Every structure is written in C-alpha cells, then in structure tokens.
Chains A and B, each alone.
Chain A
Amino acid sequence: MKPSQFGYARPANVEEAVRLLQEADGSAKVMAGGQSLGPLLNLRLAQPSLIIDITAIRELTLVREEKDAIVYGACVTHASVEDRRVPDATNGFLPSVAAGIAYRAVRNRGTMGGSLAHADPAADWMTTLTALGAEILVAGSAGERRVALDQFMTAPFSVALEDSEFIIGIRIRRYSQAARFGYFKFCRKRGEFAEAMGAVVIDPELGIRRGIIGATDSRPILVPDMDACLRPSGEGIQAAKAMIAAMKIADDPVRDGMHANAFARALKQVAQ
C-alpha cells in the first residue's frame, strides 16, 4: 500500500504549526517521529490533506527543568530517554520504560509526544506516564493549556485535542529518592504491542500510591484500592490479582487473568 496524496509542511515554530492546523480545518495530521502515522498513511487508514512535520521546531526537542518538574519537548525521542541524553525525573524509571518500547529503530525516531497523541492503548508511555501523573502541554489557536494525562485519552486512538491543537510537551513531576516504580508488560514477542501491562508508582515522601492497568481495549484504568494491593507478605499481591480479575476488564477470563498477573508482576517490583 502507498499513501494517498498529501501536502507536506515543516514549520519552524509553534505559531506557524498552529496556523497551518487552523487553516486545514481538521484535515491535517501532525507528524513527529512518524512511527505510527507512517503505517497508517501507507494503509490509507489516515488520508490527511496535509502532513505538518513538527520536528524542525527546535523547542519541541528540548527539555526544560523546573523546580519540582521536568518538561520534555514533544519531539524528544524514546532513544534520547533510553540513553539518558535528557534529564530524568524518576530515578531511572523513564529510561527503563523507554528501553522496552518496540525496537531500537522505532525508538530512534519515535517520540513521547507522538506516542501520546496516537493514543494506542497498548503503548508504553500512555500507561506509565498516566501512573506518573504527567501533564500534557498543548498549543492551539486559543494559546497554550495543560491537561492531566488521565483526562487526555478519551478512547482508543482518540485524545482531547481541538483541530488547531497539538502536543508541545509533557510535564512530569520530580519524584523523590524514596520513590519506587514497577512496570511489567506481557508481549507475545519482544518489541510487539503488549497484551497486558501494569504500572505502579509509590512515593512515600510525596504521598503517592498509584497503580495503572494498561493495554486494555480503551483507556488506562486506575487501580481502585492500592492500599489493599500494598498489604505486606504476598497478601497484597493476592488481593490485587483477585481485585483485577473481578473487574473483568477484557470480558474474557484468559485475558482478565493476564491483566491481573501483569499488574501483580509490576506490584512485586515495588514490594518491600
């Protein structure tokens, strides 16, 4: 399959990109790394009139350090995170997640912002950054705004962006030295999309206890009772498995079990 005809623009700044988006009136697509959009174009599942390549916008490739957070430009690649070429707000958690995304060739070009905008339920960043409580920085004709990631994805492959808007950055709070992170995904093959995934973030200093179930048929799911899951000596693991299996996320006992087991594996990583 070859893409249908489209126009191509490579704006130099955010304002120009917003203007192009506005003019296209919903028929344009923003491209960062192109690792998901490329196949969609070739399969003609996406047939935009215009591709707006945002990789020439310098500020989107940069990282801004704030006192209690780090803002990653939307075009920071998975490989940059993996290789620790950008500062890390999570004591090594972000690089370890990045290293497990698809294959190195994909990580070289694929970006954090692109992955979140694509909103594949099985993607690594959607689940793990939701667990981290990340915020999305959006630019559009009405100016810039911030959206909590757990409010950002509305459905599979759908996000809360207006036609003139696109992601410019991802803001992740700085976690303390005492923070613990767990992440497990089950893939049929190394580098493939996950069948089940779980992420756990615990930061006693910040008072955070959050568990997320990913690779569902839709949005990441917040684990309701983390206190039960964190009960000591294996009790918490059993509670988590029972709780998640009972949620019937996939409505298929085999897949429900996979979700429960994936979350339990992530939980084990933070268990003390």
Chain B
Amino acid sequence: MFVEERLDGQAQVKGQGIGARLPRKEDDRFMRGRGLYVGDMKMPGLADVAFVRSPLAHARILSVNIPPSLEGRVFTARDLEGVKPIRAVSGLPGFKPSSQPPLAEGKVRFTGEPIAMCVGPTRAEAEDMAALVSTDLEPLPVLADFSTAEQSEELRVHEEWPDNIYLETKVNKGDRFVLDGAAIVVEREIGLSRQCMVPLEGKGTIAWWDTRLDQLVVYTSTQLPHMMRTGLAECLGLEERQVHVVAPDVGGGFGFKCILQPEEVCVAWLALTKKRPFRWVEDRREHLVAAANTREHHYRIKAFADADGRLLGLEADVAVDVGAYSVWPFSACLESAQIASILPGPYEMPFYACRTRSVATNKPPFTPYRGVARTGVCFALELMIDAIAREAGLEPAEVRLRNLVRPEQMPFTNITGKLFDSGDYPESVRQAVDAIDLPAFRERQKDGDGDGRLLGVGFATYCEQAAHGTTVYAAWGIPMVPGFEQATARVTPDGGLELRIGVHSHGQGMETSMAQVAHEILGVEIDKINVVHGDTAVTPYSTGTWGSRSMVMAGGAVSRACEIIAKRAIAIGAHLLQTTPDQVVLEEGEVRSRTGSIRFQQIAEAWYKTPEVLPADVAHEGLEVTAGYKPKVDSGTFSYATHAAIVAVDPEFGSVEILDYVVVEDGGTLVNPLIVDGQIIGGVAQGIGTALYEESPYSEDGQPLASTFVDYIIPGPCEVPDIRILHMETPSPFTAHGIKGIGEGGAIAPPAAIANAINDALRPLRAEVATTPVTPHRLLAAIAAAAEKQLGKP
C-alpha cells in the first residue's frame, strides 16, 4: 500500500490496490443505461407470463374457471404434475416446515398468492387472459396479525400443524438474582411495521431449453445463482447438471432476491415442458402486494440497570410475523433465531433472557432484508438504552460509553457466545458525539428551531456480524450452509486477468473491488482485469451474495488464487531471468531480480505462446487457479458503527426533518472506501425509509392497503440528508487483509437513531414513539396520548 496524507488528515491510498478510492468500473455501463437486465432481453418466440392472484387472504379454492378459448395458454396447479413444493426446513428443534406450492393448491394463504399463470405474446395480452380467468373461493377466517394467529384455537394457516408457530426459541443466560434491587427498570412495547424491500429492479425470470446442451437455462434476477440452480433442480426433479442459471445485471437485491420464488419455478416449468422461452417480470404492484415482506418484529422488553445506568440485564419476548410460508433457502426461522442470539448487541450484561416466536399468518412470506434482524434488534435495544438514560438523568451517549464492550476486552465473547473479533466501540460513540457537537447542540436545543419545531438528537450503536460461515449456519440447519468460498483467477495469454467468482454483484461494485484485491497481489492494472460473476456455467460454486460476506469471502478467495498465480509467475519469471525464485520479487506487475525484470505480460506469453522456453518443472500447473478460502475463525467479522441524528419535529403535523446525520463506522480494512461510502449512504437511505416512511399495512381481512407508491412511501432525494461518514479501520485478525463485511450496516441503525432523536425532541411533551415508521399520524397520536395522560384522563 502507498499512503499519502490528504489535507483533511485522512490517509489516502495511491494506486489501484486495497484501500484505493477508485470509481466503479461497472458504472460506465450503468450510467449510460447499458446494463442488461432480465426485462431488457429479447429473443425470438419469447412469451410473457401473467399470474392470476388470489383476491382473498385465506380461502378454499373450489374451482378455477378457464374459458375454453384460453385452453393450453393458462395453467394451474393441476398442470404442474411432478413439480415439488418449495420447502425450506431448519434443523432447529421443533421447527415446522411449510410446503409452498408454486401455484396454490386446495387453498390460498395470502392475498396475491399465485393461482394460475397465463401465457401471451405480450405481457398486456397475458394480463387480458388473466382477467378472463375466474376463481370460486370459499372464504376462511383470516389470521391477519401475529397475535390473532398465536391465540387462535382452531384456525390454522397450515392445517396439519397443532398451532400457527413455525418455531419458538428460548435463551437464558446468567443468574437472575443480579437483577434484584435494580435501581432502574424500564419496560416497553416496541414494534417494527411490515414493509417491502423495493429494489429499483423488481424480480424477473426468463427461461428456455437449450437443446444442444440438453439444459434448462434460467436467467433470473437473483443474488445466489448457484443456490437457485439447486432449488430449481429440486422443485423440477432435474439433476443440477441439467440446469444453468445466470444472474445478469440485477438492480438491487437487499435479501429479497435471495429467495426462490414460486413464479421462478413456474416459468422454469414452462420452459422445461414447452421447450420455448418464457418470461415473467414482476411489476411494482405485484412487488408491493404479493412479494416477500420483511422487518415486522414485536418486542415486549424489560431492561434493568443500576443507578449509574450500567446494564444488569435484559428480558425480552419477541414475535416475528413471518407470513404464510417458509422462504427457501433462509427458512422462516433465521430472523427470530438471529434476534435471540444478537439482542444484547455490543453491550456487556450479566443477565439475558429471550423468548422468540416465528408466527404464521395470512400474509406474504417474510425474508431477511439488508441488516436482517439487526435493524429490529438495534431499534428495540437502542430505544431501551435511551429510556435508561432518561431514568438515570444521563446523556444517552454516556450510558452507551458505560456499557459498550471495551477495546482491551478484544477478542470478546459476549453473553450469547458471540465472538467479537476487534474494534474500539466506545471510540465510535466519542467520535459521533464530537462530530455532532453534542454540547453545542444541547445549547441550541433550548431555544428550539425558532419556527415552533422541537429539536432532538439521537444515537444508535450496533455491531454487525458479517460473513458468518459454516459453524453458524450448520447450527441453524437450513438448506444453505456456506463452506469454503472459491474464486478462479485465470491469466490470459496477453497478460490480462480474469477473475471468476460465484457470488454476484448487484450494486456492491465487486467488478472493481475484486480487481483491486488481485491488483494488490499481482500488480495487473485493473483495466486489464475482468470480473466474471453470476453464471453457474463459468463461475465456481458459491452460496452467493448475502450477509455482507462477498468482500470477506470471495475477496479472500481471489486473494488466495492470486497468491498461487503469483508463486507460479515468480517461478517462470525467475527462470526467464536465469535465477531462482528466492532471488526475485513480484512487484508493480513485474518479476524483478537484482539485475533485471520481466513484465507480467512476458510471463503470460512465455507460458501460453512460447512454452518451449520453459522446462517441464516450471509452473507446469499453469496460470489458471481455483482456490478455496475460509477465514481462520469462521463465525464472522464484527463491523460496528455509531449513528447520530439531529432532527426537527413539527408538533403540528407530526413531520420530522433530519437536519444532520453522522455515521462513524469501523469496517476493518476498506478495499475501496468510495464504494464503502456508497454502501453506507444507500443503507442509511433505506434505514430512513424504515424509520419514517415505509409500511405495508394490512386490513383485518388480510388485504394489503399499500399497493402502489401512492400509499407505500419511500424516501426521495429530498428526504435523505447529506450523510457525514467517518471511518475507523480496525482490521479483523481472522480474515485475509483484515477485511470485514459492511454492506448491510447503513440500514441497521437509522430507525433507532432517528426515533431516539424524535423522543429526545418530544421530552418536553413527555411523549415517546416506539413503532416504525414514525408517521405523522403515529407521532401526533403519541403527543395526544401524552397530553391526555398529563390531564389525568384514561
């Protein structure tokens, strides 16, 4: 690494290796509108698919009526002979798996569930057909929310179950007696509303049969092409060699594009049986109504602290409304299992007890979204930290400093057995306090905003376990357990480099950052490095891009593969320089001895074009390598951050303006700080959506109430302030180059930081919010409730 001091004191890495702040190579095509997405693809004879979806949340299907004129162009479950349901299991004791038929069979379990598919020359014509298909449905009582579903004696989402609970878990750590005589006990009900994930590009799938290779080819908008191959093969009864999956350009994933959707299975089945190309492109309404949801956690939580605000313990009872089906491959329990294991966050405490339930309801399935359970956990825990601070009469930042794990404790195993690898968590709080200038803000807060608005500041600190590996996932026993991550490095005859990775890049900038890792080792210019991803035919197996793992895992694998290439290049170079490998070094793309040098390109040419110059024992394995990689300790890296927000609350309209937003984060070694900043900004924007805007409400009979962007509000440019980012860099002791996963972090803390800031602003009114999104209606209702309480009304 070459480091230069910038005027602002921050070090900047020169060159193209690890740490260089390079613009993304892939942006050239994206910014010119030249990306290639499923919806852009054209091919002769391509037919479009539209789905007939259930208008009811829970009903028996008496009949599906297809007009005779549409025969052969409309398909129902009866046609999908031999197709297996989607079944995501978990090895956790007591877990009840669900069977999700690609097209509903017998009954429908949520509004929007696919019942039939219609095939037309265009999407509009397929939709015309769908309008002509009618269904006779016998309505059943609807389990529209988790508490109704939990309490129902008779009614079941899945008839064969004894109740509506996928899984219940219990954690008990420490002795409860430490809570005796706690000076501070705070109890709250805290909730996150159900929401969608709204990637810019919705889901899309195109499938055809390749007669030459005797393969089903599926282009699909996914984060995990290799897993989709497994899932599709299982559902369709094919061998995996018969399935070729390609994820082309994908316009954002965020977890939503990890799951195998029934629509994908349906389109693949059409291609398999009709041997023609078919396509389905999810539209925005389908996404908002029928696609997987996320975030909905309900907490009953009690925190105990001494008079100085030191945490003694935490008791929590948590329900996650995971909807009608267990999603493949993550299952319906990953979210709640994660809640139980991470609720203590980055804090030390002697006692912890938590019960979680994953509850089945008549709503679309639930899948982990950027940050997974951490966004909900951080919201619940950080609101409690502020509640303790108010009780103790302390600055919330001070309570964090008193309870966070300290740098001298690293590596640190917390109360639930999580192994924190490195870092200085209190320092992130101190830097955030400085950046936001807390003392100056407290002065300014006294005078208000001058226009009747109330000012508040909020902090939230979290840790983000990323790139968790085999040990973690094997314990959950879900259909996906990551092992060694692989990468192929292949030198081309003219001295360029191809990197083939099994993960997929859909906004993470990996076509640039992976090249930077290779450049760090081999010195090949990044313009001469191609990163190939997303194609099961040409990339090594991978469980894909999720859990902020790609830079750690695939980056590590690229690093290992390039190290092996380097060794062989050195052997060739030494021979050409008429010396021995121990007498040369590889630097700046050259093998150098004391007397001469050989460029990387010459080495490639020697091996590929003039092999006669090399004896048989020099680099006979060639300049193409597939290497596997796993960190020394595979339980995950721990990135962390403190977010701080200053808000102005208008008590007349319940609106919230974010006046300042600071992120102090530690993601270990940053391969490309510019990309990291982009990831953080994007994540914070989504976190602001969760905090203030995004919600998928359902009526009592399970009808979605936000089916277009008129009702489902996402933040726009005016709602996302300039975000100030400060980096700390504590390398992970366990991973190649000290890299930690950071992709999700931005979306974790904003709901907590913003709600804490709102509650700080509302202190004079003694009102408090505890549910996301903090809509004007919720905020005004909280103010009204506080006013009534003070008047002594019920």
A residues near B (Cβ < 8 Å) are 1-5, 39, 43-44, 186, 188-193, 195-196, 253-255, 257-258, 261-262, 265
Contacts and interface: CB of A to CB of B under 8 A. Distances in A.
Contacts of A5: 124, 128
Given A43-B708, A195-B776, A254-B781, A1 B127 contact: yes
A186 B655 contact: yes
Interface string B684-708: 0000000001000000000000001
B360 interface: no
Nearest to B651: A261
A258 B122 CA distance: 46
B775 A39 contact: no
Given A43-B708, A261-B653, 17 more contacts: A1-B285, A2-B123, A2-B124, A3-B124, A39-B708, A188-B713, A188-B775, A190-B718, A191-B716, A191-B718, A195-B776, A253-B784, A254-B777, A254-B784, A257-B780, A258-B654, A262-B653
A192 B692 CA distance: 14
Nearest to B128: A4
Contacts of A262: 653
Contacts of A255: 777
8 contacts: A4-B127, A188-B713, A188-B776, A190-B716, A192-B710, A195-B776, A258-B654, A262-B653
B713 A192 contact: yes
Nearest to A120: B710
B138 interface: no
B715 interface: yes
A258 B776 contact: yes
A183 B131 CA distance: 43
B789 to A, nearest CB: 16
Contacts of B776: 186, 188, 195, 254, 258
Contacts of A1: 127, 283, 285
B198 to A, nearest CB: 14
Given A1-B127, A261-B652, A189 B715 contact: yes
B588 interface: no
B787 to A, nearest CB: 11
A193 to B, nearest CB: 6
A103 to B, nearest CB: 8
A189 B127 CA distance: 32
Contacts of A254: 654, 776-777, 780-781, 784
A190 B719 contact: yes
B713 A4 contact: no
Nearest to B124: A2
Contacts of B713: 188-189, 192
A175 B653 CA distance: 31
A99 to B, nearest CB: 14
Interface string B752-794: 0000000000000000000000011100110010000000000
A189 B708 contact: no
A193 B710 contact: yes
A2 B122 contact: yes
A157 to B, nearest CB: 13
Nearest to B48: A2
Chain B contact patch, size range: 20 to 34
A189 B653 CA distance: 12
Contact of B716 (A189, A195, A257): A189
B263 to A, nearest CB: 15
B698 to A, nearest CB: 19
Contacts of A2: 122-124, 127
A194 B640 CA distance: 39
A39 B283 CA distance: 13
Contacts of A195: 653, 776
A39 B517 CA distance: 46
Pairs of residues from A and B, 7 with the lowest C-beta to C-beta distance, nearest first: A2-B124, A190-B718, A261-B652, A254-B780, A186-B653, A2-B123, A254-B777
B659 to A, nearest CB: 16
Contacts of B652: 257-258, 261, 265
Question: Among B122, B715, B716, which residue has the most Cβ atoms of chain A within 10 A?
Answer: B716
B385 to A, nearest CB: 28
A258 B781 CA distance: 12
A127 B107 CA distance: 47
Contacts of A4: 124, 127-128, 131
A41 B693 CA distance: 27
Contacts of A258: 652-654, 776, 780
Interface in B302-335: none
A257 B777 CA distance: 11
B285 A43 contact: yes
A253 B124 CA distance: 44
B782 to A, nearest CB: 10
A248 B716 CA distance: 32
Nearest to A190: B718
Nearest to B692: A188
A186 B719 CA distance: 14
Interface in B63-91: none
Contacts of A253: 784
A5 to B, nearest CB: 7
A58 to B, nearest CB: 32
Contacts of B123: 2
A215 to B, nearest CB: 12
B215 to A, nearest CB: 31
Question: Among B652, B716, B775, which residue has the most Cβ atoms of chain A within 10 A?
Answer: B652
Nearest to A261: B652
A262 B655 CA distance: 13
A44 B652 CA distance: 38
A190 B123 CA distance: 33
A135 to B, nearest CB: 30
Contacts of B654: 254, 258
A110 B653 CA distance: 28
A251 to B, nearest CB: 14
Question: Among B122, B693, B719, B780, which residue has the most Cβ atoms of chain A within 10 A?
Answer: B780
A44 B775 CA distance: 30
A192 B718 CA distance: 12
A120 to B, nearest CB: 10
A257 B780 CA distance: 9
A192 B712 CA distance: 11
A43 B775 CA distance: 27
A195 B653 CA distance: 10
Nearest to A3: B124
A257 B716 CA distance: 26
Contacts of B285: 1, 43
A255 B123 CA distance: 40
A254 B710 CA distance: 20
A193 B123 CA distance: 30
A2 B715 CA distance: 26
Contacts of B127: 1-2, 4, 44
Interface string B179-200: 0000000000000000000000
A253 B123 CA distance: 45
A188 B712 CA distance: 11
B596 to A, nearest CB: 62
A213 to B, nearest CB: 15
Contacts of B653: 186, 195-196, 258, 261-262
A2 B653 CA distance: 37
B66 to A, nearest CB: 19
